[in-house]
């Protein structure tokens, strides 16, 4: 079970994420749909569709936050580094329980243990993470082998929600003009209530569009990095350390299946569909004693 990290930056980013999404939902429902498409089936459709995307966004985000990214369990006994250094100076191999489970495993001096291939230590989580890509403050968790799927889903739904928000704001202003003219008495100037309503609507619409553009471009840039890392079969940590590919070149769909699972691609967008960790454990064993 993943322990919630009390990292100030991560907690702040979590609160900002929830506040931005809730504000977008409020603006779309209160100031966009109900003002431009009241009592219409299209208005009801957009409210339901928008909130379905919000639900998928929150679900994928929660799973990315609270899922185990692939933490390597600590062994029953830590490595005795004094024996390790003395053996290396004498040119003798380690004996008995000091041998790593596999020749490709490396040593983490912070966790004082052997770690499987492609695992890296996170200084914020203070643990080694399987196939660690990076530590993301927006989910207050590492992006690793077991939760990268949910992280990419979160990016997808943020981008989709941003595009949908801009679309609704754009089309609503086309219908809103005719509606205001219909409410206005013939030959009479606009009253104060209509002016205040329009000013509030303009203010919320501008803020929402700016927020959507900012977050939309931001998550699209991160998503491009994620897919580049998947297709190159290198995590961002491995790219930064200039470590070469670990496995033979595979087809893109095979690489995607390693992240999203071997189910039908349609299920790749469902945040409640979990990966089969038993298969992952067989290919990357981490339960060992030293």
Provide the annotated active-site residues: 136
Rounded distance between C-alpha atoms, residue 14 and residue 31, angstroms: 25
> What does the DSSP assignment read for the chain?
-PPPP--HHHHHHHHHHHHHHHHHHHIIIIIIIHHHSTTSHHHHHHHHHHHHHHHHHHHHHHHHHHS---BPPPPSS---HHHHHHHHHHTPPP-GGGS-SSTT-EEETTTTEEE-TT-EEETTTTEEETT--EEETTTTEEE-TTTHHHHHHHHHHHHHHHHHHHHHHHHHHHHHHHHHHHHSPTT-PPPHHHHHHHHHHHHHHHHHHHHHHHHHHHHHHHHHHHHHHHHTT--HHHHHTT---SS----HHHHHHHHH-SS-GGGGG-TT----HHHHHHHS------
As a whole number of angstroms, the distance between CA 229 and CA 98 comes to 34
Contact 213, 166 (CB under 8 A): yes
Confirm if 130 and 117 have CB atoms less than 8 A apart. no
Closest to 70 in 3D by CA, of 9, 116, 19? 116
């Amino acid at each position: 079970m993943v322990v919630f990290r009390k990292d100030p930056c991560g907690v702040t980013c979590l609160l900002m994420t929830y506040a931005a999404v809730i504000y977008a939902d409020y603006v779309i429902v209160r100031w966009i749909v109900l003002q431009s498409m009241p009592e219409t089936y299209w208005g009801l459709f957009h409210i339901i569709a928008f909130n379905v995307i919000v639900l998928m966004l929150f679900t994928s985000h929660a799973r990315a936050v609270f899922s185990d990214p692939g933490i390597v369990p600590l062994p029953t006994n830590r490595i005795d580094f004094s024996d390790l250094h003395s053996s290396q100076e004498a040119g003798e191999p380690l004996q008995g329980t000091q041998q790593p489970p596999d020749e490709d495993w490396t040593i983490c001096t912070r966790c004082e243990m052997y770690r499987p291939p492609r695992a890296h230590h996170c200084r914020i989580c203070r643990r080694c993470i399987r196939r660690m890509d990076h530590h993301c403050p927006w989910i207050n968790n590492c992006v690793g082998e077991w939760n990268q799927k949910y992280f990419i889903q979160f990016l997808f739904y943020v981008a989709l929600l941003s595009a949908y928000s801009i679309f609704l704001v754009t089309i609503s202003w086309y219908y809103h003009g005719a509606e205001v003219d219909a409410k206005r008495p013939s030959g009479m100037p606009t009253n104060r209530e209509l002016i205040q309503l329009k000013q509030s609507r303009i203010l919320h619409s501008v803020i929402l569009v700016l927020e959507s553009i900012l977050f939309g471009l931001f998550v699209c840039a991160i998503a491009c990095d994620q897919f580049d890392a998947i297709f190159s079969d290198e995590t961002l940590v491995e790219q930064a350390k200039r470590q070469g590919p670990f496995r033979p070149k595979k087809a893109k769909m095979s690489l995607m299946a390693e992240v999203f699972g071997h189910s039908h691609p349609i299920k790749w967008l469902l945040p409640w569909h979990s990966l089969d960790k038993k298969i992952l454990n067989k290919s990357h064993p981490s339960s060992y004693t030293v």
